[in-house]
Structure 1
């Protein structure tokens, strides 16, 4: 949805759409390319969160002022009422000695931090709840939040640390349920941002082998093909994706880009026209128009 950041070697126009449409998975932070983990656009508020603070998982034993989820560090979009609620919950959490009650408070804190896009804090507290009551669903809640934080990490170091944390938790999910393809796909994306990217590609292919219609895996394999300039393979992936889900905006857009890059102008125009049918977002439409203009001027 992109992370230590896998750059799409496209035009500046494509990069605009990448930022507008696909802020989920950051593969190479140094190059600012992004792609979506699930092909959906993220709320604008999520992009405002600055995750460049120390990982919350390291602070469980620290003094209250430095504890994970300090409300004063919360997302800028948090209201005074939300900050007050977080402070009260944290006070209860810090003072609770009953493990079950503490886990319940941790779950509440996870929910509250997730609502203000403070994903690493949410992941930390969901993880505490999962440690008290282990299971596939509880571990996935924590893993998904760390994955979101990984997706928005602003430095490669931060991306790798959060990706590792998400991966460790997803591995616990998969230990409970090896057929959880969503966990497997997200695990793959954390590997792609690591020093072992081929492990991620292998996992994505395993997902496709199990579920040939898996939208998330098809989308990410398509973007990976674009990143490596294998646009013919990207066309195949995005065609498959748009056959599975004809209304997949990002899939149709990147199908158009890949077709344009393989000199299939007429088909590319059809794909871009489909994007215009599906989306009324002014930024998306402007990006499509800009790419069409670029494509036509290249004649």
Structure 2
């Protein structure tokens, strides 16, 4: 399993682990015309969800912070406009993420830059930042917003490289976990397309297992997750979700067994203590 796939984790405890290991509106009237146009088109394509999320976030800013964003947005001038936009979007992304502590909006602007670059690598990176937050859990409106934007990025990736199975799986995860479709089977089908063609793809099995957990099909989830940990015994995602699934099933003995396995793969004291607390609660 690739390193970037390892950060797509489900569950509150693993969010804690994620933070330790990886921790790291209508567009404003004063924005440049080019950026207004692009943001407006994106909002239209995403049923205006982007507009709402960005507007709400912008309203919460202090005047100096809002002014800084306006300066960045207005820094696109004549000349090589495309490259300037890419630079500005990345600057805005870092400001939202590092200064304003909104990694979700930071990821959105990284995605806007990646769309212009049409870089498979950068599109994947921005989409995965969004998917990480979807998997970790968020407010429904923000989850849908992240999923719609990640979906658009993955679709662009697949136009560049139709053979990118990880992008196909993660596109399916956007449907499955992002509340962007009334038919979650749409997401399952996209993941199964990869799983049925390549039975050795444990990333697809993992995502299907997480989907089984979401639909409370715990026996199926256990079957898939045990298959993953047999092939990838150090896969923290699979180990944790297997333990948690046994806990949900009421199988305390197996839940403790797999939480112990998780504990053996973590060195962060706070995370180890949280796991120990879970184990003690099951005794």
TM > 0.5: yes
C-alpha distance after superposition, 1:83-106 (max 9, x if no partner): 99977654533x354224314423
User: How do 1:47-66 and structure 2 match up within 5 A?
Assistant: 54=25, 59=27, 62-64=29-31
- Asked if 1 retains the 8 angstrom alpha-carbon contact of 2:58 and 2:66, the reply is no
SS in 2 for 1:278: coil
CA displacement 1:223-258 (0-9 Å, x = unmatched): 222233322212212112212321222322222233
The one of 11, 22, 31 aligned to 2:15: 22
Instruction: Report the Cα offset of residue 170 of structure 1.
Output: 1.4
Shift of 1:203: 1.4
Conservation of the 8 A alpha-carbon contact between 2:12 and 2:136: no
Within the candidate set 193, 198, 204, 2:191 is matched to: 204
Q: How has the CA–CA distance of structure 1 residues 85 and 241 changed in structure 2, closer, same or farther, with 3 Å as cutoff?
A: farther
- Alignment pair present for 1:120 and 2:113: no
**What residue number does 1:6 align with?**
none
Q: Decide whether the 8 Å contact of 1:129 with 1:138 is kept in 2.
A: yes
Partner of 2:172: 188
Q: 1:106 matched to which residue of 2?
A: 88
The alignment status of 1:245 with 2:239, answered yes or no, reads: no
Would the aligned equivalents of 2:108 and 2:149 in 1 still touch at CA under 8 Å?
no
Asked if structure 1 preserves the Cα contact closer than 8 Å seen for 2:151 and 2:174, the reply is yes
Structure 1 CA distance for aligned equivalents of residues 214 and 133 of structure 2 = 23
Q: TM-score, normalised by structure 1?
A: 0.63
Offset from partner CA, 1:7-63 (integer Å, 9 cap, x none): xxxxxxxxxx9223137xxxxxxxxxxxxxxxx71459979xxxxxx3xxx62x831
Determine which structure has the larger helix proportion and give its number.
2
- Compared with structure 1, are the counterparts of its residues 104 and 96 closer, same or farther at alpha carbon in structure 2 (3 Å cutoff)? farther
Asked if the contact 1:20/1:283 (under 8 Å) is kept, the reply is no
Higher relative contact order (CA 8 A, sep 6+): 1
- Aligned pair count reads 247
Report if aligned partners of 2:151, 2:171 keep a CA contact under 8 Å in 1: yes
Q: Secondary structure at the match of 2:206?
A: helix
Cα separation, partners in 2 of 1:129 and 1:255, compared to 1, 3 Å: closer
Name the Cα RMSD after superposition: 4.2
Kept after mapping to 1: 8 A contact 2:128/2:150: yes
Which shows bigger deviation, 256-265 or 246-255? 256-265
Unaligned runs of 5+ in 2: 1-9, 40-53
Deviation, 1:149, is 6.0
| 2:152 is aligned with 1:175 | no
CA distance in 1, matches of 2:201, 2:216: 23
2:204 to 210, 217, 222: 217
Q: Residues 235-288 of structure 1: CA distance to partner in whole angstroms, max 9, x if unpaired?
A: 212112212321222322222233455566554443222122111334433343
Deviates more, 1:222-231 or 1:282-291: 282-291
TM-score (norm 2): 0.66
Q: 1:166 aligns with which of 150, 162, 165?
A: 150
Which residue pairs with 1:136 in the alignment?
Answer: 120
